[in-house]
Amino acid sequence: MTAPATDPALHAPEDPSPAPRRDERVPRPRRRRREGLARWSLLRILVVTGTVLAVLLAAAAVVGVVGLTQLGDRRVELVDRLDPALLTAQQLDAATVDQETGIRGYAMARTPDFLVPYERGRADEARLIAGLRALEADQPAALADVAAVESATARWRALYADPTVAAVAAGAPAPPAEVGKPAFDEVRTALDAQRTRLLNQRDAARDALDGAAQMLWVVGVVLVVVLGLAVAGLLVWLRRVVVAPAHQLAREVREVADGDLEHRVSASGPREISELAEDVEAMRVLIVRELADTERARQELARSNSDLEQFAYVASHDLQEPLRKVTSFCQLLQRRYAGQLDERADQYIEFATDGAKRMQVLINDLLSFSRVGRQNDPPEEVDLGDLVDRATQNVAGALEESGGTVTHGDLPRVMGSPALLTTVFQNLLGNSLKFRGDEAPRVRVEAERDPGDPARWLLRFRDNGIGIEPEYAERIFVIFQRLHARNTYPGTGIGLAMCRKIVEHHGGTMWLDTTATSGTTFVVALPALPVQPEPEGPSEETAP
């Protein structure tokens, strides 16, 4: 097992006194009894709102469907029945006129060609009457008109048309036209009545169609207005019952977040918002209680620090004086009575002198350790290369005695205390010289940006000393922890603990590089300046 290359030490032990505890924990408040809207959840509000909108939309759809159905019925009645029926009635009138014209011409000319319009008219009459019956199948009055026209034309043919055809065919004189005129007048009267009824029905249907269209338009406008008002009303309602309570809660929370911790958080509205307000209020009360406990703990810590400062003062003055007196008289005894007493007495005197000296060293080191971070000197921008050079000059005697060298590359500038950082570097250099191997000690200091965190520098102190086993990587930073006997390597075991404490006071950290294959490598991580260029190139500085 290799020996450590530094004074093994770590942080000072933590204060064993327990942290101040709260007098009592704040219980979670019981949910208050809710009335009215506060009993409603957001889901219920949204369901009610959606239901109202759905009902309004369904009503609008029903009204629209009814209006469109009526409009379609009026259009079908006008376009598919009345207009075709009126056209057919007009064609039927023309067919009867063709028949009467053909019979009169046939009676006068007695030529079969004049009978063609009569035959065509009869065929058209039969076809048109069948069409009218199909169109007016569900209209009893219209069927009665069709029957009247058909009956009148049948009487006309029986009284005049058929006798005239028979007489002409037999070569006898045709019946006079006055015989058929009254019957044909009945046909015209029946046709006029049919046409008049159809025209009246068409006008009524057209008026109904226009009325249905106008009503549908009015209903549509009314529905749009009603739906718009309903949606606006629902949005206003939602804003009042959901958005406004949420904004109120946000305002009260912001007041607390802005520092008014005494402001009570309360909110109305849906159950979720009310419960959230109660939870925030409970958290505010807990924070106020915690802050009060923290303030009490801070005051107790301040008193404890004051006691520690008083102890440091006593240790640096009241204890130092008796120790110096003990040391002085032990040295006087050693010089005056050396060789006059027996060997055991000389040994006892030497033990007493050595113990007093070590006690002085321990007290001084403890005082230095306790003062770390308690000075209020503002940090300044320092060049780490200059501080390494200063630390090298401070250990110049040990360097000359051991024949060692200290080199470093370009080192960055950081914010810190020059005296404290110089103490760190001097301790690391001193340990490298103390725990050296058979060869002359060589120490190399280099700096690089942390690959995992570019906002800090990594300073590596490498030496060719006896090294440290990885399992002791943390133990060496424990205060007063040593890996060697005191007579092998001198020291109090507080150096590395003080170094780590100083580095942490600067916002950094320090550790042993356990991946080093030879010697010892300590890594000191320090925050970089906001804008810090990389070192441009290596430059060597050697101190004897």
- Residue-wise pLDDT for 309-339, tens only, equals 666 666 665 666 676 767 777 777 777 776 6
- How many Cα neighbours within 13 Å face the side chain of 240? 7
With a CB cutoff of 8 Å and minimum separation 6, the contacts of 273 are 42, 242, 245, 246, 249, 267
**For position 372, what pLDDT does the model report?**
58
Nearest-angstrom CA–CA distance, 439 and 464: 8
| Sheet strands side by side (includes 453-463) | 405-408, 442-450, 453-463, 520-527, 509-512
Nearest-angstrom CA–CA distance, 145 and 193: 7
With a CB cutoff of 8 Å and minimum separation 6, the contacts of 325 are none
Nearest-angstrom CA–CA distance, 451 and 435: 30
Pick from 451, 380, 461: nearest CA to 414: 380
- Strand 442-450 to 405-408 pairing: parallel
Residue pair 443/388 in contact (Cβ under 8 Å)? The answer is no
Nearest-angstrom CA–CA distance, 208 and 486: 120
**For position 321, what pLDDT does the model report?**
67
**For position 184, what pLDDT does the model report?**
85
Per-residue pLDDT of the chain (544 residues; tens, 9 = 90+): 344 444 433 333 444 444 444 444 545 555 555 556 566 776 777 787 788 878 878 887 887 788 788 778 777 777 777 788 888 888 888 988 888 888 888 878 788 888 888 888 888 888 988 888 888 878 888 888 888 888 888 898 888 888 888 888 887 887 887 777 888 888 889 888 888 888 888 888 888 888 878 887 887 888 788 888 888 887 887 777 778 778 787 888 888 888 777 888 776 777 777 777 778 888 888 888 888 888 888 888 777 766 666 666 666 656 666 767 677 777 777 777 766 767 777 667 776 776 666 666 656 656 655 555 555 567 788 999 899 998 898 888 888 888 888 998 889 999 888 888 888 888 888 888 777 777 888 889 988 998 888 888 998 898 888 777 777 667 777 665 555 545 555 555 677 777 888 888 888 888 888 787 788 888 889 998 876 455 554 445 444 4
**For position 190, what pLDDT does the model report?**
86
Angle at 89 between CA 85 and CA 94, to 5 degrees: 150
DSSP label at 270?
S
* Backbone φ, ψ for residue 172 (5° rounding): -90, 165
Both structure tokens of 275: 């419960």
Q: Is the pTM of this model over 0.85?
A: no
Which runs of consecutive H residues, i.e. helices, occur in 239-341? 244-257, 271-314, 320-336
Nearest-angstrom CA–CA distance, 126 and 146: 11
Output the furthest CA–CA distance in the chain (Å, rounded): 198
Residue pair 375/367 in contact (Cβ under 8 Å)? The answer is no
Nearest-angstrom CA–CA distance, 204 and 210: 10
Both structure tokens of 63: 């009204």
Both structure tokens of 31: 């949910």
3-class SS string, 197-216: HHHHHHHHHHHHHHHHHHHH
**For position 378, what pLDDT does the model report?**
74
**For position 224, what pLDDT does the model report?**
85
**For position 359, what pLDDT does the model report?**
65
Both structure tokens of 289: 């209680």
Nearest-angstrom CA–CA distance, 14 and 489: 27
With left for phi above 0 and alpha for psi between -120 and 50, is residue 493 left, alpha or beta? left
Both structure tokens of 422: 């110089």
